[in-house]
Amino acid sequence: MADGMEAEEATGFEKLIGRTATETERRQLRRVKEVLGLRDNDALWLVIFALQYYDSLYRQFPKAIATEASAILARTRETADAQMRAGVEQAKADLARAVALAAQDVARDVARRQTTQWLIYGMTVGAALVVTGIAIGRALAP
């Protein structure tokens, strides 16, 4: 664990983050220590630990955000699908109702037309019978 970074330093950082430091974190800490020329007892070294800790925390945010965004997207998709299915079923019911009403209107119009036709036929037959009756009555009259 110590590769160029003393076990004490790794342990201090690991105590701060509450887990074993990754190789990448160790490498970053060694690089900062070398570039800044820090010694083990340098007060800035503790600040670097804290900054590295916050860096590791902030690196977790994109994963957490992506996970939560995926979950929200899945719930949104499920809700949209349910709404779509409900809308389709409602549209089917509305269409069936509209077709039934249209069929009733067509049937009523056909019945009226047929009633009117039979009424005209009956009146025509009745008028023909009246005229025939009058003609027969005149012919039989003395």
Residue 92 is predicted with a pLDDT of: 94
Q: How confident is the model at residue 7 (pLDDT cuts 50, 70, 90)?
A: low
Q: What is the largest CA-CA distance in the chain?
A: 152
DSSP 123-141: HHHHHHHHHHHHHHHHHH-
**HSE-CB for 59 with a 13 A CA cutoff:** 9
Q: Is it the case that residue 117 has pLDDT exceeding 70?
A: yes
The per-residue pLDDT for 27 is: 86
Domain boundaries, the chain: 1-103
Higher pLDDT, residue 82 or 7 = 82
Lowest model confidence (mean pLDDT) among 9-23, 25-39, 127-141: 9-23
Task: Give residue 8's pLDDT.
Answer: 54
What confidence category does residue 1 fall into, taking pLDDT thresholds of 50, 70 and 90?
very low
Mean pLDDT across 91-117: 94
Distance CA 27, CA 5 (A): 9
Q: What confidence score (pLDDT) does residue 102 get? A: 94
Q: Which residue in 55, 53, 19, 21 sits closest to 10, CA to CA?
A: 21
Task: Give yes or no for a contact between 13 and 25, defined as CB atoms under 8 angstroms apart.
Answer: yes
More confident residue, 142 or 126: 126
Name the token pair of 77. Answer: 């998709």
Q: Mind listing the pLDDT tens digit for each residue in 54-78?
A: 887 788 888 889 999 999 999 999 9
Prediction pTM value:
0.46
Whole-angstrom CA distances from 94 to 50, 89, 98 are: 65, 9, 6
